[in-house]
């Protein structure tokens, strides 16, 4: 049957109007999101349902766009470029920080791997990728035991810490 062209006029039935509103609102917000992503624009849409309930969509968010719209004292070129460059600078700085942390963690991982290999070689044990299935099962079991012991130790330390805090908070007699 395919799509039919509908006449654009107000829907008279209130139930149908609410359903139409919900479906069209979703489509409108999807299109606005596509426009924002494809064209790198800032967009805000505010609609009120037939019942008076407000709905909004904004990219990056409604508040910043409304604020920018209401405070037009700067020209769009000045305000936009300054806001975008500040945001870009912040994002670039965060990216650089994260890349530094990633690099440091990779180096730490390599160092730990070398230390593990050296320790296994000193004990005369073969590398992990050369262990048999039974040896790997034993290693897994011992690691799980170690994890459980560490959890118990951490729990004990937390209890002791909590007791010390309580003792410090109680008034002295």
pLDDT digits (tens, 9 = 90+) for 81-103: 555 556 777 788 888 888 899 99
| Average pLDDT rounded to a whole number, residues 122-129 | 76
Tens-digit pLDDT profile for residues 137-168: 888 899 999 999 999 999 888 888 888 877 77
Domain contains 53: yes
Q: How far apart are CA 44 and CA 112, in angstroms?
A: 50
Structure tokens at 67: 């604020």
pLDDT tens by residue, 29-82: 999 999 999 999 999 999 998 888 999 999 888 888 888 888 875 544 544 555
d(CA 156, CA 154): 5
Last residue of a domain, one of 29, 47, 71: 71
Q: Which of 54, 71, 88 is the last residue in one of the domains?
A: 71
Q: Which domain holds residue 151?
A: 133-166
In a domain, 125, yes or no: no
In a domain, 90, yes or no: no
Report yes or no on 30 lying in a domain: yes
Q: Look at the chain and report how many structural domains it folds into.
A: 2
What pLDDT, on a 0 to 100 scale, did the predictor assign at position 74?
54
Asked if residue 110 belongs to a domain, the reply is no
Domain assignment present for 18:
yes
pLDDT at 123: 79
| Sequence-separated (6 or more) residues with CB below 8 Å from residue 44 | 56, 57, 58, 59, 62, 65, 66, 69
Does the residue 157 lie in any domain? yes
Final residue before a domain boundary, out of 53, 71, 89 = 71
Position 83 in a domain: no
Q: What is the CATH classification number for the domain harbouring 36?
A: 3.40.1810.10
CA distances, 153 to each of 44, 143, 144, 156 (Å): 53, 15, 14, 5
- pTM > 0.85: no
Report the pLDDT value the prediction gives residue 37, as an integer from 0 to 100. Answer: 92
């Amino acid at each position: 049957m395919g799509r039919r062209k509908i006449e654009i006029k107000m829907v008279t039935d209130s139930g149908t109007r609410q359903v139409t509103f919900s479906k069209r609102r979703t489509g409108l917000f999807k299109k606005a999101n596509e426009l924002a992503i494809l064209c790198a624009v800032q967009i805000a849409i505010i609609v009120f349902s037939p019942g008076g309930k407000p709905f909004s969509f904004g990219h990056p968010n409604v508040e910043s766009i409304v604020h920018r719209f209401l405070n037009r004292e700067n020209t769009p070129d000045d305000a936009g470029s300054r806001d975008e460059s500040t945001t870009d600078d912040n994002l670039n700085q965060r990216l650089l920080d994260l890349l530094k942390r990633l690099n440091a963690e990779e180096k730490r991982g390599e160092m730990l791997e070398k230390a593990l290999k050296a320790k296994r070689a000193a004990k005369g044990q073969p590398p992990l990728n050369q262990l048999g299935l039974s040896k790997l099962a034993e290693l897994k079991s011992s690691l799980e035991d170690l994890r459980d012991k560490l959890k118990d130790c951490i729990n004990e330390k937390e209890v002791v810490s909590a007791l010390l805090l309580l003792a410090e908070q109680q008034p002295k007699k």
